Amino acid sequence: MSTQSVREMSKRVSERLADAGFVDAQTNPTWYLIVIPKVLLFGLIMIVPFLGAFYVSLHQWAPLAQTHPFVGLENYVQLLHDKVFWKSLQNTVFYAGMLLLFDVPIALGLALLLNMKLKGTRFYSAAIFLPVVTSWVVVSLIWTWIYSPTNGILNVSLASLGLPTYDWLGNRALAMPAVTAMSIWKHIGFNMVIFLAGLGSIPDHYYEAAIVDGANRWQRFRYITLPLLKPTAFFVIVVTMIFSFRVYTQVYVMTNGGPVHATYTLMYYFWEQGFGQFNYGYASAMAVVLLVIVFGLSILQQRTWGSDVEY
């Protein structure tokens, strides 16, 4: 497209918009031309389906049915009485809780160690970050093999030490913790890098001034590092929770939700209802529950983290 025709096109677009009273005729029309493609995509791919989720959740909706009868809140009421749903929610909350309890503090600890800028830091951070870049499907496959009941390296190692072995993914009490442990392993490097960026953004002159004032290491950590890292820590905690509610792929690959719903998560049950049972209405009700939880968490984040973000 030549510059000339682009200019003409943008002029026409802006005239139309001005005629319709949307925009001020004085504005340079090019600005509209360059944001419109993305705005259209937001509208069609994010906003319409977003509203669609609420709409579908109020209907009994089978993909091939001719009509989709309105059922009001029936899907939601059914959710309240659905034991598998509660089990899925419970598992998801367990998953999020374990990540907060182990992933976040260990990631912070590793970031503090890496921030000491020891020799070999590049190697250490590269190694710890390796599971982050590898896909969930790949690491799930590898860990299914590690957890394998008779021949996986975990049980082989335990047996060689004379310790008891378990069917990690086949045991109802152990399956969810096993999936969670693997996820912590995979995810720690992500939080670590965010903490590391947070530590790096603390200006050095704060420490210099503190040294001049005679503050010792502990005091510098306690009164400079810790308070200044608070926003980063809060960000990490909320984002970890938000992502936890999306846990899905590792369950699909490692356990298929089993044994007997022991590893069902919100997203796994959603997928099973939506695209296994083709029960769109019921699945959408679950999606709306997920949306409400994630929005709640995001508001929490905006309150503290976003308070000085300019809009």
Partner 1 sequence: MSTDLDLGGEDRIGTGRAAGTGQYVVKALAHGILIVASALAIIPFAYALLTSLKPEEKIFTTMAQIIPAEPTVMNYVNIWMQNPLDRWIFNSLLLAAGVVFFTLLLDSLAGFALAKGDFKGQRFVYLLVVGTLIVPPQAIVVPLYIEMSQFNLVNTYWAVMFLYIANPFGVFMMRQFFLSVPDSYLEAARMDGCSTLQIYTRIMLPMAKPALSSLAVFTFTFIWGAFLWPLIVLSDNAMYPLQVGLAGLTGQYSSQWGQLMAAAIIAAFPVITAYLLAQKTFMEGIALTGSKG
Out of 96, 175, 178, 287, the only residue in the binding site for partner 1 (CB under 8 A) is 287
Shortest distance, position 49 Cβ to partner 1, whole Å:
4
Interface positions, 238-257, toward partner 1 (CB under 8 A): 239, 242, 245-246, 248-249, 252-253
The residue (of 241 and 262) whose beta carbon lies closer to partner 1 is 241
Task: Give the chain's length.
Answer: 311
Nearest distance from residue 263's CB to partner 1, in Å? 15
Cα distance between the two ends of the chain: 34
Among positions 25-44, residues that touch partner 1 (CB under 8 A) are 27-28, 30-32, 34-35, 37-39, 41-42, 44
CA angle, corner 286, sides to 284 and 287, nearest 5? 60
The interface with partner 1 within residues 72-101 (CB under 8 A) comprises: none
Candidates 84-92, 93-101, 164-172, 274-282; binding stretch for partner 1 (CB under 8 A): 274-282
178 vs 236, which CB is nearer to partner 1?
236
| Residues touching partner 1, count (CB under 8 A) | 127
Going by C-alpha positions, the residue among 311, 176, 199 that lies closest to residue 251 is: 176
Which residues, 108 to 167, sit near partner 1 by CB under 8 A? Answer: 109-110, 112-118, 120, 122-146, 148, 150-151, 153, 156, 160
Query: Which residues from 166-225 bind partner 1, rule CB under 8 A?
Result: 185, 189-190, 193-194, 196-204, 207-208, 211, 216-222, 225
Residue pair 179/251 in contact by the 8 Å Cβ criterion: yes
Minimal distance in Å, beta carbon 201 to partner 1? 6
